[in-house]
């Protein structure tokens, strides 16, 4: 009867062990079947009531069964441990094949690329960067540049007025007057990049806001040769060593003589093409020798000092440099446009 009991316990134990699906459950079974107070172990106490010849066999059977159950439990333990580990690993894996979140890189506006390049070229020639207000007085924007109230040149530079005497500057030339007035009669060699405004109807080639780089050099014995050499060096650095410049007579109230400066067309090397309208030249800037009236009005004796000045349209240079077909693209900040000018690392 005890034998049958042992077998039954064994069968029970085995099926419960097999069915257990967690190590916690298995730990419970270990106690249930192998602890001192388990049914199996309690059978030991019946050992004494058996006839001596059966005792040995029963004892052996009991130990054997205990060992078998213990082995089954540890086997199952090992199995469950592996299973649980595998599950844990699976749940904690990081999918490194997932593409990372991309950071969108912007691009520097070609306007600023060109502004910085022009600035660097002049800094390397020993110029310093000067600054001046965008909201300007009539006095500085016009009067001190030899453009009196009723001067017809004012018509070419209509702007936005804040009041009768305060306006958005139409060019960076007022910085000439500010710089001269602040220099206490000392020699000057400055450039001034900055925003300028005119009342224009915006289209592919006109914008009510644009930017210039003003240049001003004042010293003793400055002549037009200095102007030409400076601008020639600028043209070659900016547009390539092969570029040549030519000066054409022009008119600005604040320079005398005044010139327009053209460079040989980079597209056709001066032979004439659609870009330069068959002339072989492209106009890039205006300049001239500082008018004696301007020197006088701003604190320099024109009998002792002379100087040259120039104004470069930044967008114009960028347009020529990059073949951009519409000035408005500089201000729209369309990333597709900006990406085209992203600097290569």
User: Rounded to 5 degrees, what angle do the CA atoms 282, 286, 290 make?
Assistant: 155
Residue 106 CB, nearest approach to ligand PHE (Å):
31
- Does 175 bind ligand PHE (CB under 6 A)? Our answer is no
Q: Tokens in use for 294?
A: 């301007």
Min dist. Cβ of residue 264 to ligand PHE (A): 21
Measure the CA–CA gap between 22 and 24, rounded to whole angstroms.
5
Q: Tell me the residue nearest to ligand PHE as measured from the CB.
A: 311
Window of 12-20, 68-76, 283-291, 318-326 that interacts with ligand PHE by CB under 6 A: 283-291
Q: Does 311 bind ligand PHE (CB under 6 A)?
A: yes
Stretch that binds ligand PHE, among 21-29, 202-210, 228-236, 307-315 (CB under 6 A): 307-315
Closest CA to 311 of 110, 118, 112: 118
If the CB atoms of residues 32 and 154 are measured against ligand PHE, the closer one turns out to be: 154
Q: Which of 194, 288, 306, 314 binds ligand PHE (CB under 6 A)?
A: 288
What's the longest Cα–Cα distance across the chain? 144
Does 132 bind ligand PHE (CB under 6 A)? Our answer is no
252 is an interface residue for ligand PHE by CB under 6 A: yes
Q: What does the alpha-carbon distance between residue 62 and residue 250 come to, in Å, rounded to a whole number?
A: 121
Cβ of residue 211: shortest distance to ligand PHE, in angstroms?
11
Residue closer to ligand PHE, measured from CB, 40 or 294 = 294
Q: Which residues, in sequence order, are bridge partners of residue 202? A: none
* Sole binder of ligand PHE in the list 109, 173, 298, 306 (CB under 6 A): 173
Choose between 38 and 255: whose C-beta lies nearer to ligand PHE: 255
Q: Which of 38, 179, 255, 306 binds ligand PHE (CB under 6 A)?
A: 255
Q: Is 190 in the site for ligand PHE (CB under 6 A)?
A: no
Out of 286, 305, 318, 330, which residue is the one contacting ligand PHE (CB under 6 A)? 286
Q: Determine which residue in the list 76, 171, 189, 243 makes contact with ligand PHE, applying CB under 6 A.
A: 171
Q: Which stretch binds ligand PHE (CB under 6 A): 21-29, 74-82, 87-95, 281-289?
A: 281-289
Q: Does 189 bind ligand PHE (CB under 6 A)?
A: no
Q: How far is the CB of 311 from ligand PHE (least distance, A)?
A: 3
Binding site for ligand PHE (CB under 6 A): 171, 173, 252, 255, 286-288, 309-311
């Amino acid at each position: 009867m005890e034998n049958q009991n042992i077998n039954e316990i064994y069968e029970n134990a085995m099926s419960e062990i097999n069915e257990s699906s967690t190590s916690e459950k298995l730990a419970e079974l270990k106690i249930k079947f192998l602890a001192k107070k388990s049914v199996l172990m309690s059978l030991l106490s019946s050992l004494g009531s058996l006839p001596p010849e059966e005792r040995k066999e029963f004892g052996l059977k009991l130990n054997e069964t205990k060992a078998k159950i213990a082995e089954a439990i540890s086997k199952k333990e090992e199995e469950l441990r592996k299973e649980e580990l595998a599950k844990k690993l699976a749940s904690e894996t990081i999918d490194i094949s997932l593409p990372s979140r991309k950071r969108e890189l912007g691009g520097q506006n070609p306007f600023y690329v060109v502004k910085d390049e022009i600035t660097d070229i002049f800094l390397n020639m020993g110029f310093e960067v000067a600054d001046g207000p965008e909201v300007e007085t009539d006095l500085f924007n016009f009067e001190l540049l030899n453009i009196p109230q009723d001067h017809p040149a004012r018509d070419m530079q209509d702007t936005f007025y804040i009041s009768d005497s305060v306006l958005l500057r139409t060019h960076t030339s007022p910085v000439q007057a500010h710089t001269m007035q602040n220099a206490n009669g000392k020699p000057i060699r400055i450039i001034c990049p900055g925003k300028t405004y005119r009342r224009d109807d915006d289209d592919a080639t006109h914008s009510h806001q644009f930017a210039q780089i003003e240049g001003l050099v004042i010293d003793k014995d400055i002549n037009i040769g200095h102007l030409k050499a400076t601008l020639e060096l600028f043209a070659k650095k900016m547009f390539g060593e092969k570029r040549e410049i030519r000066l054409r007579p022009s008119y600005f109230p604040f320079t005398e003589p005044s010139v327009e400066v053209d460079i040989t067309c980079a597209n056709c090397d001066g032979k004439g093409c659609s870009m330069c309208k068959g002339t072989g030249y492209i106009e890039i800037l205006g300049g001239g020798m500082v008018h004696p009236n301007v020197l006088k009005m701003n604190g320099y004796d024109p009998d002792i000092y002379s100087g040259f000045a120039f104004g470069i349209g930044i967008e114009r240079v960028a347009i020529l440099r990059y073949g951009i077909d519409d000035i408005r693209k500089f201000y729209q900040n369309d990333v597709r446009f900006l990406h085209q000018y992203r600097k290569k690392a």
